[in-house]
């Protein structure tokens, strides 16, 4: 599939400094390096991590920056050593954009903990644009059953959610704190695997509670409420440290509480009694390519109904604002061609 004729430039939404609106600009289309592919982007999810970057909660790594690490598109060019995909292939670009491949973590299959990683939309320009260059070795082929706009949220909300979910093991009663893009995907995976889902939202958010019930949650309520039964495990997607002791209090002995965000406010002190009973609190950091291959194989076999909320590329600031305010359920997705 040849690339359409263009003048060598593209539209992109640029972050110059944290806490400033993104600006629409016309910039050069990137040239793919030896191991890279050039992708014409059709859809890019808007993730809560993007909010942490835009709001300065994660320290800036480059400026100006094209954010976005849930990009879906078609390969239109490639470097001399990039042979994993062919021109015309549909690919997905995730958060992990590269790793050193030789540190102790990479050597033992823990590239998500690499000492010198490269993250899409943070260390390297991402998908809030019409084109992006990406290391082909860290991109994914996507399940054919999902179109571009429905596939985009799978690339972070799905992948990070899946890594967090895998850490809950064989837990039957699963609590999800913060019912946004990741939770609405993992709730469906858990339900189709025969597990009970308990959804916790911000106080008063009856809309998201109803959304959780529609996706199969057996119970949904405020994060200040007690679940009707003790949980075997909990995943905290909301970036609120105060939810850690709340989740521990909701679990039974031997349970695991997984903190799934890249950023979280400070965890307040809590009595040791909440942790006692061999409960575990752990974090999730990034993803590995093995996570992606496992998750996308699963996503091809089961029916995950992502709920995208579409925005034009130039509406990225509105998408971020509405995500920050919790004004929609599901996942925001930017469409450069909209």
Same domain, 134 and 238: no
The whole-number pLDDT of residue 338 equals 79
Could you tell me which residues come within 8 angstroms of residue 176 by beta carbon, excluding any fewer than 6 positions away? 183, 186, 187, 197, 198, 199, 200, 212, 217, 234, 235, 237
Q: What is the pLDDT of residue 217?
A: 97
Q: What's the Cα-to-Cα distance from 71 to each of 105, 141, 166, 301, rounded to whole Å?
A: 26, 12, 24, 22
pLDDT in tens, the chain (338 residues): 334 446 899 999 999 999 999 999 999 999 999 999 999 999 999 999 999 999 999 999 999 999 999 999 999 999 999 999 999 999 999 999 999 999 999 999 999 999 999 999 999 999 999 999 999 999 999 999 999 999 999 999 999 999 999 999 999 999 999 999 999 999 999 999 999 999 999 999 999 999 999 999 999 999 998 889 999 999 999 999 999 999 999 999 999 999 999 999 999 999 999 999 999 999 999 999 999 999 999 999 999 999 999 999 999 999 999 999 999 999 999 999 87
Identify whether residues 310 and 246 lie together within a single domain. Answer: no
Which of 114-146 are b and which e, b meaning 16 or more Cβ less than 10 Å from the residue's Cβ?
A: beebbbbbbebbbbbbbbbbbbbbbbbebbeeb
Non-local CB neighbours of 238 within 8 Å, separated by 6+ positions:
177, 178, 180, 202, 223, 261
Measure Cα distances from 260 to 3, 25, 68, 233 in Å.
Answer: 38, 33, 18, 13
Q: What secondary structure letter does DSSP report for 160?
A: H
The answer to whether residues 134 and 152 belong to one domain is: yes
Q: Which two tokens stand for residue 55?
A: 């709001």
Q: DSSP secondary-structure letter at 86?
A: -
Residue 120 inside a domain? The answer is yes
Residues 191, 150: one domain? no
Question: What's the pLDDT at 102?
Answer: 95
Residues 204 and 250 in one domain: yes
Q: Crossing angle, helix 181-192 and helix 157-166, to 10 degrees? A: 50
- Domain end marker among 263, 283, 303: 283
Q: In the listed set 243, 259, 283, which residue is the last one of a domain according to the structure?
A: 283
Count up the domains in the chain and report the number: 2
For residue 240, being part of any structural domain is answered with yes
- Whole-angstrom distance, CA of residue 4 vs CA of residue 76: 9
Q: Under a CB-based contact definition with an 8 Å cutoff, are residues 121 and 128 in contact? A: yes
**CATH number of the domain that residue 213 is part of:** 3.40.50.720
What pLDDT does residue 3 have? 46
Quickly tell me which residue has 């690490």 as its tokens.
69
Query: Is 319 a member of any domain?
Result: yes
217 and 277 assigned to the same domain: yes
pLDDT of residue 1: 35
Question: Which stretches of 137-236 are DSSP H helices?
Answer: 148-151, 157-166, 181-192, 206-214
Residue 114 token pair = 């690499």
* Same-domain pairing of 107 and 215: no
Answer yes or no: do 17 and 148 share one domain: yes
Residue 245 falls within a domain, yes or no? yes
pLDDT of res. 4: 47
How far apart are alpha carbons 127 and 97 in whole angstroms?
A: 12
Instruction: Give the pTM.
Output: 0.93
- Tokens 């110059």 appear where? 16
Question: At residue 284, what are phi and psi to the nearest 5 degrees?
Answer: -115, 130
Residues 40 and 181 in one domain: no
Buried-state track 228-261, b at ≥16 Cβ within 10 A, e below 16: eeebbbbbbbbbbeebbbbbbebbeeebbbbbbb
Residue 307 region by backbone torsions, left for phi larger than 0, else alpha for psi between -120 and 50, else beta = beta
163 located within any domain:
no
For 18, left (φ over 0), alpha (ψ -120 to 50), or beta?
Answer: beta
Residues 73 and 126 both lie in one domain: yes
Q: Does residue 21 share a domain with residue 144?
A: yes
Give me the pLDDT at residue 250, please.
97
Asked if the structure places residue 275 within a domain, the reply is: yes
Angstrom CA distances, 96 to 4, 39, 312, stand at 28, 16, 25
- CATH at residue 330: 3.90.180.10
Contact between residue 207 and residue 329 where contact means Cβ atoms under 8 Å apart? yes
Q: Do residues 238 and 324 both lie within one domain?
A: no
Residues 99 and 154: their CA atoms lie apart, in Å, by: 21
Provide the residue range defining the domain that includes 75.
9-158+287-335
2 within some domain: no
Sign for the CA dihedral angle at 224, 226, 228, 229 comes to: positive
Query: Would 103 be classed as within a structural domain?
Result: yes
């Amino acid at each position: 599939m040849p690339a359409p004729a263009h003048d060598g430039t593209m539209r992109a939404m640029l972050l110059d400094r944290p806490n400033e609106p993104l600006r629409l600009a016309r910039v050069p289309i990137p040239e793919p390096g030896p191991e890279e592919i050039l992708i014409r982007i059709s859809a890019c999810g808007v993730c809560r991590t993007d909010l942490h970057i835009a709001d300065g909660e994660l320290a800036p790594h480059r400026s100006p920056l094209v954010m976005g690490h849930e990009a879906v598109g078609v390969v239109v060019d490639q470097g001399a050593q990039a042979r994993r995909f062919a021109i015309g292939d549909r690919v997905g670009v995730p958060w992990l954009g590269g790793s050193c491949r030789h540190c102790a973590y990479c050597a033992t299959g823990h590239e998500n903990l690499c000492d010198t990683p490269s993250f899409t939309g943070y260390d390297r320009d991402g998908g809030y644009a019409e084109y992006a260059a990406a290391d082909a070795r860290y991109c994914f082929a996507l399940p054919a059953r999902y179109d571009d706009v429905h596939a985009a949220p799978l690339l972070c909300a799905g992948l990070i959610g899946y890594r967090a979910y895998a850490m809950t093991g064989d837990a039957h009663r699963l609590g999800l704190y913060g019912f946004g893009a990741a939770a609405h995907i993992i709730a469906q995976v858990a339900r189709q695997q025969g597990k009970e889902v308990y959804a916790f939202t911000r106080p008063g958010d009856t809309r998201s509670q109803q959304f959780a019930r529609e996706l199969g949650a057996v119970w949904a309520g405020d994060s200040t409420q007690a679940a009707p039964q003790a949980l075997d495990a909990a995943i905290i997607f909301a970036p609120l440290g105060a939810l850690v002791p709340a989740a521990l209090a909701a679990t039974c002995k031997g349970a695991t509480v997984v903190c799934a965000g890249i950023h979280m406010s400070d965890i307040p002190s809590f009595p040791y009694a909440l942790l006692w009973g061999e409960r575990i609190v752990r974090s999730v950091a990034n993803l590995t390519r093995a996570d992606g291959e496992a998750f996308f194989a699963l996503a091809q076999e089961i029916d995950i109904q992502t709920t995208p909320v579409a925005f034009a590329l130039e509406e990225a600031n509105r998408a971020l604002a509405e995500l920050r305010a919790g004004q929609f359920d599901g996942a925001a997705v930017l469409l450069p061609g909209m």
